[in-house]
Structure 1
Amino acid sequence: METKKTVRAAERALDILLCFTEAPELSLTEIARMTDLNKSTVYRLLATLEEKGFLIRDGDTEKYRLGFRIWELSTHLSQSDDPAILFLPEMEKLRDAIEETVSLYVRDGYERIRVQAVESNQAIRRVAPIGARMPLAVGASSKVLAAFSEPSEQALILGDPGWPETVDQGEYLQQLQRIKKEGYATSVEEREAGTSAVAVPVFDRHGKIVAALAVSGPVGRLTVDRMKEVVPHAIEAAERMQKMMKK
């Protein structure tokens, strides 16, 4: 019984920390609403997380933000295992070559997460916040992650209870087949107005997809023709990334 209580408390504490993927600062009331927990429970967990350094409470606003302990943990991520760290030099090279924002996405359930980004140096550019979550139904990176997944994984993606009614699954599957054949995906204002993107898969040494490498920018600059010119550069970068992966 004690073990179950401990696990439940850990789950609740982690749920609280995950709330900060939605906003940099949150009040007790906001966290209670987001986690669907009563305020007294949230208050006790917040006190523990604050004491351990995972959260910081602003005495003036009474809002919480992530503490320095989080950043301490992140500094110990293994460069040999974490694609976000391992692939950063290649992403910077690609950005410098094509002068657009370069992002790296991984799949997490029904969503993709931007785990790394290198912004363009141009005045008008695609701003890419790290940690952003997006649905797998739309977008070049989403379709690359789905297209090169196993059929069983594709079935899970299509079973998303939050699948948008505006996206026809039959047409979506046809797009995945074409993407797998061509080796890349493009999108023009598909997920975000004014933005276009092209994405290619990054495989491990066993040929399993581990991430989607994307180039994004304003539609006026990253046109369909320009995306076709970018594809070879992105594929070459992805191939170099594959060689960097462990056997």
Structure 2
Amino acid sequence: MNKGKNQTTTIQKDSVRAVDRAIEILQVFTFEDPEHTLAQICAQTNLPKTTVFRILATLEQNNLIVQHPETGKYRLGYEIIKMGAIAQESNSLKRTAAAEMEEISRVTEQTCNLYVRDGFERLCIAQVMGAQYVRRYSYLGARHPLYCGAGKLLLAYAGKEFQSRFFESVKLERITEHTVTDRAQLERELEQIRRDGFSVTRGERDASTAMVSVPLFDYTQHVVASITVSGPVYYFEEQKVASYLEELQRAAGRISRKLGYRCSQPILIE
């Protein structure tokens, strides 16, 4: 009896060890290095060649790994791509941010918007109306310029190459008296936003509207969206802005971590 039980325990441990090793091998494949030889995988995992070869063969049989017929290098297979698509759909940006947006709107009593960069514009993909709602300044599916209001944060984190193309393609038109139309001034403001990690704008797209925006990061370590509190300018005095910003940063930290963002320093010390 004991002998049989011990054998079962050993088999279970071996099975778990095999799964751990398979996961370790799969994690070798990254955006930076999507393909690897058998020797490279062995070097990175410190696993014996025979073990790695056996696991790769099993993964290949299940379409989790594909071996290039000419180079012999391995890469992730279509089954992994399908799993990733399922995970992305079930854990989409909007779904991940939904509960936090509701809480932000409840606490601040202002409207909470979720924006993504779409070409040279920002696109509103989610919105929760606040208790202090006076009139709608944006709406679900609305597109607005990147160079004013909440769009400036997305433009600030878009990178120098994108910014160069943006300034070559987009005319900075004055929408209100507070809209920045000078490229040099706007570039200075974008640099300041990157240093601060947030943006505060007043009356740049709509003269009566103010916004506080913070970035959302995902597993690629890049900004994928901005989450924003917006409302009438008279609700955005300095003390209120500070409280809105604190609420946004805490929520953004939680959302970003759920999206797979990892960094050596916490997004916000809680």
Q: TM-score, normalised by structure 2?
A: 0.59
Contact 1:120 1:126 in 2 (8 A): no
1:245 aligns with 2:245: no
Contact 1:200 1:238 in 2 (8 A): yes
SS of residue matched to 1:199: strand
2:243 equivalent among 194, 209, 229: 229
Residue matched to 1:188:
202
Residue matched to 1:58:
none
Residue matched to 2:164:
155
CA positional deviation for 1:96: 1.2
Equivalent AA in structure 2 for residue 163 of structure 1: L
Distance in structure 2 (CA, Å) of the matches to 1:159 and 1:224: 35
Distance in structure 2 (CA, Å) of the matches to 1:127 and 1:79: 29
1:111 equivalent among 117, 121, 132: 121
CA positional deviation for 1:147: 1.1
1:142 aligns with 2:142: no
Distance in structure 2 (CA, Å) of the matches to 1:81 and 1:164: 38
Residue matched to 1:38:
none
**Higher mean Cα deviation, 222-231 or 103-112?**
222-231
CA positional deviation for 1:86: 2.4
Residue correspondences, number: 171
In the alignment, structure 1 segments of 5+ residues that lack a partner are 1-75
Residue matched to 1:90:
100
Query: Highest CA radius of gyration, 1 or 2?
Result: 2
CA positional deviation for 1:172: 0.4
1:174 aligns with 2:183: no
* 1:1-247 → structure 2 map (5 Å cutoff): 79-122=89-132, 124=134, 126-139=136-149, 141-164=150-173, 167-246=181-260
CA positional deviation for 1:222: 2.1
Residue matched to 1:19:
none
Runs of 4+ in 1 over 6 A off after TM superposition: none
Equivalent AA in structure 1 for residue 217 of structure 2: F
CA positional deviation for 1:245: 1.0
1:85-124 deviation line (CA, Å, top 9, x unaligned): 3211111111112111000000011100001000002353
CA positional deviation for 1:83: 1.4
Identity %: 30
Going from structure 1 to structure 2, the CA distance change for 1:126 and 1:170 (only over 3 Å counts) comes to same
CA positional deviation for 1:199: 0.3
Distance in structure 1 (CA, Å) of the matches to 2:94 and 2:207: 27
> More relative contact order in 1 or in 2 (CA 8 Å, sep 6+)?
1
CA positional deviation for 1:160: 2.4
Contact 1:80 1:86 in 2 (8 A): no
Distance in structure 2 (CA, Å) of the matches to 1:171 and 1:219: 23
Residue matched to 1:70:
none
1:146-198 deviation line (CA, Å, top 9, x unaligned): 11122112212222234326611100010011111111101111110211111
In the alignment, structure 2 segments of 5+ residues that lack a partner are 1-85, 175-179, 262-270
Q: CA RMSD in A?
A: 2.2
Q: TM-score, normalised by structure 1?
A: 0.64
Going from structure 1 to structure 2, the CA distance change for 1:146 and 1:161 (only over 3 Å counts) comes to closer
Going from structure 1 to structure 2, the CA distance change for 1:157 and 1:220 (only over 3 Å counts) comes to same
Distance in structure 2 (CA, Å) of the matches to 1:151 and 1:78: 28
SS of residue matched to 2:166: helix
Distance in structure 1 (CA, Å) of the matches to 2:122 and 2:220: 22
Equivalent AA in structure 2 for residue 174 of structure 1: R
